[in-house]
Each structure stands twice: as C-alpha cells, then as structure tokens.
C-alpha cells in the first residue's frame, strides 16, 4: 500500500506534469506547422483516410492544424491547461480511431502527423502506440495538473483582486 502511494505521488508530481505539458505541447505545435504551411497536401492526406465526407475535408485540413497549434501553445504557456489537455486527448482518440480503421482495412498510409510529404513514413501500428502514450500524457495532465510554472497562475497572483 505504501509503495502504491509513493508511485502515485511520483507520477502526479508537479514537475512531471510540467514535463508532460511541455512534451505534449511541443509535439502538437511541431505537428501543426507543416499542415499549416501546406493545407492542400494535408487535405489530400485526409482524403486518403476515406472517413470524412468530401465537403468536410478542406474545413478539417484548414482548422485542425490551428487547433493543434493553439492547444499545444496553451499547454506550454500554462493557460487553459485542463481544456487544452482534454482537447488534445479527444484529438488523439480521433486519430487512434482513424488509424485503426485504416489498419483494419489493410491500408497503411502516411498519417500526416508531422509531415504532409506524400512520400512520408507509413508507421501503422507503431503510430498507434505513440498516440496511446500521448493520450496517457493528456489524461494525466487533465486529472493531475497543478498549474506549476503556469502563465495563468502568474496572472492570478498579479491581479488587483488577489493582492
């Protein structure tokens, strides 16, 4: 029992949560950059999944990278941490479902995660494992965030209502 309490204290430590925020935030910002720069190529990648209706593909290709960018930025800055981690966790669940559907179909395609290059890496099952690890980080942040090194805490401290 004591060992379990120690393990829980270690994995919910404020410094570890900060590390999780930085890893997830940087990953999502990095993942968004090429998609923001090349929305047409990202739209082709989305089309190759054969999941979304055609009329949603361009909207998704333009908005998703900006959602990833902002959610990652919020995690790094420590603003709206719970909301950003919940949004990222939801996106990761969507990614897991989309990749799983295509693996089930026997299609191993470029996921478009970090590059819109048509000749990009086709990772398949390895990608699912990475997404589950990132999902674990997002869930941990959502439940155990302590706003350590957070812009929102600094703003609250300097607020006239909180002298």
For the residues of 74-116, what is the DSSP string, one character each? HHHHTSSHHHHHHHHHHHHHHHHHHHHHHHHHT------SS--
Least confident of 4-8, 43-47, 91-95, 137-141: 4-8
pLDDT of 106: 84
| Structure token pair of residue 135 | 């999902």
- Predicted confidence at residue 137, as pLDDT, reads 96
pLDDT at 159: 55
Residue range 9-63, pLDDT digits in tens: 888 888 999 999 999 999 999 999 999 999 999 999 999 889 999 999 999 999 9
pLDDT at 135 over 70: yes
Contacts of residue 154, defined as CB under 8 A and 6 or more positions apart, other chains included, come to none
| Proportion of the chain above pLDDT 90, given as a percent | 61
The pLDDT of residue 163 is above 60: no
The dihedral through the CA atoms of 135, 137, 142, 143 has a sign that is positive
Contact by Cβ (8 Å): 27, 88: no
Buried/exposed 36-49: b ≥16 CB within 10 Å, e otherwise: eebbebbbbbbeeb
The long-range contacts involving 84-90, CB below 8 angstroms and separated by at least 24 positions, are 84/25, 85/21, 85/24, 85/138, 85/139, 85/141, 85/142, 85/145, 86/138, 86/142, 88/24, 88/28, 88/134, 88/138, 89/135, 89/138, 89/139, 89/142
Helix, strand or coil, per DSSP, at residue 32: helix
pLDDT band for position 122 (50/70/90)? low
């Amino acid at each position: 029992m004591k060992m379990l309490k120690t393990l829980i204290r270690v994995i919910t430590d404020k410094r570890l949560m900060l590390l999780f925020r930085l890893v997830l935030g940087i990953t999502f910002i990095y993942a968004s950059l090429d998609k923001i720069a090349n929305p047409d190529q990202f739209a082709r990648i989305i089309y190759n999944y054969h999941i979304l209706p055609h009329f949603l593909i361009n909207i998704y290709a333009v908005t998703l990278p900006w959602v990833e960018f902002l959610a990652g930025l919020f995690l790094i800055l420590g603003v709206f941490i719970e909301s950003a981690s919940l949004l990222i966790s939801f996106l990761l669940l969507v990614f897991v479902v989309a990749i799983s559907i295509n693996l089930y179909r026997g299609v191993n395609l470029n996921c478009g995660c970090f590059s819109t290059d048509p000749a990009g890496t086709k990772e398949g099952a390895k990608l699912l494992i990475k997404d589950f690890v990132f999902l674990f980080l997002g869930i941990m942040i959502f439940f155990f965030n302590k706003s350590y090194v957070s812009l929102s805490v600094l703003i609250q401290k300097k607020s006239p209502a909180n002298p």
